[in-house]
A and B are shown apart, each in its own frame.
Chain A
Amino acid sequence: MEHAKLYERLAERLSKLEKFPRIKEDKSIATLMEEHGISRRDFMKWAAGVTAMLSLPSSFTPLMAQAAELTDRLPVVWLHMAECTGCSESLLRTDAPTIDSVIFDYISLEYHETIMAAAGWQAEHNLESAIAKYKGKFILMVEGGIPAGATENYLTVGPHGQTGFASAKKAADAAAAIFAIGTCSSFGGVQAAYPNPSNAQALSKVTSKPVINVPGCPPSEKNIIGQVLHYILFGTLPALDAYNRPKWAYGLRIHDLCERRGHFDAGEFVQEFGDAGAKKGFCLYKVGCKGPYTFNNCSRERFNQHTSWPVQAGHGCIGCSEPDFWDNMGPFEEPLGNRLYHTVYGEGADKTADKVGVTLLAATAVGIAAHAAIAAIKGSGKTEE
């Protein structure tokens, strides 16, 4: 679609959305920003950043700002399942740039165990009434894997001891859009690692509705808020990959935009942690970086206010936004292509690739390994001389 047409379509959608009532009548997002000392200028800068992240032209920035102000038309219910609360930490109170969290706090309904004001019985009541009141209108965000089957009671919530499975299912049935936040609710998470003692499952196994996965352990806060804004702008599901991840965030591999990519191409590798190559910031493939097999935008967006990310801190990517990374990507300090000995998760790269069911992965693994091997003879040897 041409940009002008798309712009028109989105503007139309936003003006329709504007007619809906606010979830809280007393205050608009704009006043809230002002109260918190966020200037219009900062807000517009932020909007421009999000526009770029969603791969939209910069002329769409005013639309994005408008969309952010209209987030108060679409309430959010956030549920916790079996997890570590790291995703909430990532988004709500910690590395989120404050604008994201101001917006998010405002639009989120009274059910977020970690921060909500009400407690206990009152909280349960709030959740139920929110689901009833906004039936078919709210965005459901779920954090954490969901114990299912015989071990369903490994997670119960609220005063009635409802299982996590039941409460997630109930909320999903009434939601307008469902986002699985983090690798746990997207794919089960570390608790689903072999032998999966609690039989933790992905959110998509609990409901038959489409679930948009925003994986990562933790996912970047940009991806979470970006997904909300995308939904407000377009009102439809974004383009998704095979694992239901939005392509605007998970379309490229970590490796594609990695700051150490030049060293990979030049065949300059860290051979061992602490060596001269490590000091020079060479490629971490040979010490286990899974960037070539991992689809995410960490290398572009980074974490904690764009401060850094694991590869910048000298440790390879562990592939935390891929399904079953806990079983397929380890050992995390050794290249995938080299894995020959027996581990709990099987043997060698080919077998792993079989299990994942993606032939692409095997081809990449072999290709990357071959490149690394050849480069070791040609490139690294030279640089070390």
Chain B
Amino acid sequence: MKITKEIIERIEGEATLELQWHEGVIDFAKIKFFNFRGIEKILEKRVLYDAIAITPRVCGICSHSHALASVLAIESCFKNAGDVLHISQKAQDIREIILNAEKIQNHIKWYFFTIFSELQKLSNTPFEGNAFKDKAWFHAQKAIVESLKMGAIFSGQWPHGSFALPGGVTCDPVRSDFIMAQNTLEGIVAFCEEYLYGMPLEEFLSFSSALQVMSSVRRLSYGIETMIELGFDRIGRSHDRFLALGDSFLYEEPSKAVKTTVLSADSKHVHESLEHTFFSDTHKGYTYSKSAQYRKNYFEVGPLARMMIGKDVLIRDFHRRFKDATLTRVVARMSECAHLLLRTRELLSHCDITMPSFIPPKANPHDLCGEGIGIIEASRGSLIHKVNVLYGHIHSYDIITPTVWNLGNGDKENPSVAQKAIMGLDSIEKADFVFKSFDVCSVCTTQ
């Protein structure tokens, strides 16, 4: 048996794939992350609200998701202690706008700087895979900048803004702020329509068949065509089990899906495992990343999971044709981007600025005792923060990031989501691309 080691770059941080080969086919893959900072340990004994400033610094690309998850966790502590906080609709809307801005930029960035350039590299063009050489880069870069600017109007900065607290948001935007945000959003929509979808958003979202998407000659359809040419419509399939534990406008309640059957889900069945990590065994362990399971099964989280649970007609059609192959995963993310743009447009135009931004909790946070859980649907999937608080100080803090769901390590008999997708492939290049289709972020995975 041959074992090869592959370093995966051009992701957030660095990852290593150790591939075990059997007769030219990948028999098993170990996913390794060699960085550890110990953020959960650092949070212990700190004042509860410190989590809102420290947890965003887990990740530079989904920092606002972490900020919001920690706020939700603390709000649920208040609730469990008998003080149900009322979060005004305005504050909820602003939180969602900020979160959407983060997801939109992430999706565009991932497609234009990772997926698209990888595809060009794979399809044998004399192209080294440097996205910056591509003309569309400049426009994509601009759209990303604009997307973050739109969020920053409300959050103050990106990354690592301090904009949310238990009780609401700190900003008090006026009408002109919303007009500026709307204007900025339209710039991003124009970019996506021109370069990504090749048609108005509404038209794209009205589609119910994969063939309709491929009819337009733009970046997305180019990507789909190339993926089909390279066979990514048949490979990269995983367990076909999906999970979304946070709230989203795409579906009614947190759910799980096995193939196309959707059932409600509860975070109490989530189990985090230390297996294969250096923490459980310093000699046999091989990574710093934990793994997460739901009722002892690995579930995929992220845009594809959300779209499947939301029973999105278009993605269901892709799923019917290609199952949960790499192609479906990529299209789901880009399709979610269109949904997010429309949703944000709606939020910006309907937000009622006369409502209060912040309603302070009645209980004193320094006296708070109990537990709380906050779940956010971040760019890469369900992000869970669990806190146990004792007289206003953090007793323990647990962060389960989306990448822990997708990129954990199981066994050969029960592989994790990404492992299952990689097993059976016949080349390193394919494994690399399939791995990247999960939108890898090593800093979150290990924190």
State the A residues within 8 Å of B (CB): 36-37, 80, 82-90, 93-98, 101, 105, 113-121, 123-124, 145, 153-159, 161, 164, 189-191, 193-198, 200, 217-218, 272-274, 278-279, 281, 302-305, 307-316, 318, 320, 326, 330-333, 341, 343-344
Binds A, one of B125-133, B228-236, B416-424: B125-133
User: Does B312 interact with chain A (Cβ within 8 Å)?
Assistant: no
Could you tell me if B60 and A86 are in contact, using CB atoms closer than 8 angstroms? yes
| Docked pose: A198 CA to B37 CA in angstroms | 6
User: B152: shortest Cβ distance to chain A, in Å?
Assistant: 4
The interface size bin for chain B is 35 or more
Could you tell me if B35 and A154 are in contact, using CB atoms closer than 8 angstroms? yes
Cβ contacts A to B, 7 pairs, < 8 Å = A80-B13, A98-B138, A101-B141, A154-B288, A158-B14, A308-B156, A315-B163
Q: Mark B392-435, 1 if CB is under 8 A from A, else 0.
A: 01000000000000000000000000000000000000001000
Known: A85-B13, A313-B170, A330-B50. Contact between A120 and B6, CB under 8 A? yes
Contacts A94-B105, A119-B8 aside, 8 further interface pairs with beta carbons under 8 A come to: A118-B9, A158-B14, A309-B156, A311-B156, A312-B156, A313-B157, A332-B49, A332-B162
Could you tell me if A119 and B109 are in contact, using CB atoms closer than 8 angstroms? no
Could you tell me if B34 and A156 are in contact, using CB atoms closer than 8 angstroms? yes
User: A147: shortest Cβ distance to chain B, in Å?
Assistant: 8
| Docked pose: A80 CA to B12 CA in angstroms | 10
User: B314: shortest Cβ distance to chain A, in Å?
Assistant: 28
User: A183: shortest Cβ distance to chain B, in Å?
Assistant: 9
| Residue of B with least CB distance to A288 | B49
> Which one, B131, B158, B169, B359, contacts A95 given CB within 8 A?
B158
| Docked pose: A114 CA to B46 CA in angstroms | 32
> Which one, A89, A94, A115, A124, contacts B10 given CB within 8 A?
A115
> Which one, B11, B14, B57, contacts A190 given CB within 8 A?
B57
> Which one, B7, B170, B393, contacts A123 given CB within 8 A?
B7
Could you tell me if B37 and A191 are in contact, using CB atoms closer than 8 angstroms? yes
In the complex, which residues of chain B have a beta carbon less than 8 angstroms from the beta carbon of A87?
60
User: Does B84 interact with chain A (Cβ within 8 Å)?
Assistant: no
In the complex, which residues of chain B have a beta carbon less than 8 angstroms from the beta carbon of A193?
42, 54
User: A368: shortest Cβ distance to chain B, in Å?
Assistant: 20
> Which one, A82, A120, A156, contacts B8 given CB within 8 A?
A120
User: Does B329 interact with chain A (Cβ within 8 Å)?
Assistant: no
| Docked pose: A198 CA to B6 CA in angstroms | 25
> Which one, A101, A105, A197, A311, contacts B42 given CB within 8 A?
A197
User: Does B149 interact with chain A (Cβ within 8 Å)?
Assistant: yes
Could you tell me if A89 and B161 are in contact, using CB atoms closer than 8 angstroms? no
Could you tell me if A191 and B39 are in contact, using CB atoms closer than 8 angstroms? yes
Q: Which of B159-198 contact A (CB under 8 A)?
A: 159-163, 165, 167-172
| Docked pose: A307 CA to B149 CA in angstroms | 7
Of the candidates B39, B53, B142, the one having the most CB atoms from chain A within 10 angstroms of its own CB is B53
In the complex, which residues of chain A have a beta carbon less than 8 angstroms from the beta carbon of B359?
274
Could you tell me if B37 and A94 are in contact, using CB atoms closer than 8 angstroms? no
Could you tell me if B167 and A274 are in contact, using CB atoms closer than 8 angstroms? yes
Of the candidates B50, B63, B161, the one having the most CB atoms from chain A within 10 angstroms of its own CB is B50
Could you tell me if A90 and B141 are in contact, using CB atoms closer than 8 angstroms? no
In the complex, which residues of chain A have a beta carbon less than 8 angstroms from the beta carbon of B41?
195, 197
| Residue of A with least CB distance to B159 | A86
Known: A83-B443, A304-B158. Contact between A197 and B13, CB under 8 A? no
In the complex, which residues of chain B have a beta carbon less than 8 angstroms from the beta carbon of A281?
172
> Which one, A94, A159, A161, contacts B144 given CB within 8 A?
A94
User: Does B61 interact with chain A (Cβ within 8 Å)?
Assistant: yes
Could you tell me if B12 and A85 are in contact, using CB atoms closer than 8 angstroms? yes
| Docked pose: A218 CA to B160 CA in angstroms | 7
| Residue of A with least CB distance to B117 | A117
In the complex, which residues of chain A have a beta carbon less than 8 angstroms from the beta carbon of B57?
84, 86, 189-190, 217
| Docked pose: A194 CA to B60 CA in angstroms | 21
User: B351: shortest Cβ distance to chain A, in Å?
Assistant: 16
User: Does B47 interact with chain A (Cβ within 8 Å)?
Assistant: yes
| Residue of A with least CB distance to B444 | A84
| Docked pose: A83 CA to B447 CA in angstroms | 9
| Residue of A with least CB distance to B139 | A37
User: A21: shortest Cβ distance to chain B, in Å?
Assistant: 22
| Docked pose: A85 CA to B60 CA in angstroms | 5
| Docked pose: A193 CA to B172 CA in angstroms | 32
> Which one, A123, A273, A307, A330, contacts B152 given CB within 8 A?
A307
In the complex, which residues of chain A have a beta carbon less than 8 angstroms from the beta carbon of B154?
313
In the complex, which residues of chain A have a beta carbon less than 8 angstroms from the beta carbon of B11?
113-114
User: A202: shortest Cβ distance to chain B, in Å?
Assistant: 15
User: Does B22 interact with chain A (Cβ within 8 Å)?
Assistant: no
Could you tell me if B159 and A218 are in contact, using CB atoms closer than 8 angstroms? yes
> Which one, B35, B61, B129, B156, contacts A89 given CB within 8 A?
B61
In the complex, which residues of chain B have a beta carbon less than 8 angstroms from the beta carbon of A154?
35-37, 288
User: B158: shortest Cβ distance to chain A, in Å?
Assistant: 6
Could you tell me if A217 and B14 are in contact, using CB atoms closer than 8 angstroms? no
User: Does B201 interact with chain A (Cβ within 8 Å)?
Assistant: no
| Docked pose: A341 CA to B54 CA in angstroms | 20
The 4 lowest CB-CB distance pairs between A and B, nearest first, are A86-B60, A197-B38, A313-B156, A274-B358
User: Does B337 interact with chain A (Cβ within 8 Å)?
Assistant: no
| Docked pose: A94 CA to B152 CA in angstroms | 12
User: Does B238 interact with chain A (Cβ within 8 Å)?
Assistant: no
Could you tell me if A120 and B7 are in contact, using CB atoms closer than 8 angstroms? yes
| Residue of A with least CB distance to B48 | A331
| Docked pose: A260 CA to B428 CA in angstroms | 56
Known: A86-B159, A95-B148, A313-B154. Contact between A155 and B36, CB under 8 A? yes
Could you tell me if B42 and A218 are in contact, using CB atoms closer than 8 angstroms? no
| Docked pose: A331 CA to B50 CA in angstroms | 6
Of the candidates B39, B155, B160, the one having the most CB atoms from chain A within 10 angstroms of its own CB is B160
In the complex, which residues of chain A have a beta carbon less than 8 angstroms from the beta carbon of B168?
273-274
Q: Mark B41-78, 1 if CB is under 8 A from A, else 0.
A: 11011110110111001111101000000000000000
Could you tell me if A113 and B14 are in contact, using CB atoms closer than 8 angstroms? yes
In the complex, which residues of chain B have a beta carbon less than 8 angstroms from the beta carbon of A320?
160
| Docked pose: A97 CA to B162 CA in angstroms | 22
User: B117: shortest Cβ distance to chain A, in Å?
Assistant: 8
User: Does B335 interact with chain A (Cβ within 8 Å)?
Assistant: no
User: B412: shortest Cβ distance to chain A, in Å?
Assistant: 24
| Docked pose: A153 CA to B288 CA in angstroms | 11
In the complex, which residues of chain B have a beta carbon less than 8 angstroms from the beta carbon of A190?
37, 39, 42, 54, 57
| Docked pose: A145 CA to B35 CA in angstroms | 11
User: A263: shortest Cβ distance to chain B, in Å?
Assistant: 14
Q: Which of B106-150 contact A (CB under 8 A)?
A: 109, 113, 117, 128-132, 138, 141-142, 144-145, 148-149
Known: A96-B145, A198-B37. Contact between A279 and B172, CB under 8 A? yes
| Docked pose: A161 CA to B14 CA in angstroms | 12
| Docked pose: A304 CA to B109 CA in angstroms | 16
| Docked pose: A217 CA to B158 CA in angstroms | 10
Could you tell me if A314 and B54 are in contact, using CB atoms closer than 8 angstroms? no
| Docked pose: A310 CA to B153 CA in angstroms | 10
| Residue of B with least CB distance to A304 | B152
User: Does B24 interact with chain A (Cβ within 8 Å)?
Assistant: no
Could you tell me if B42 and A273 are in contact, using CB atoms closer than 8 angstroms? no
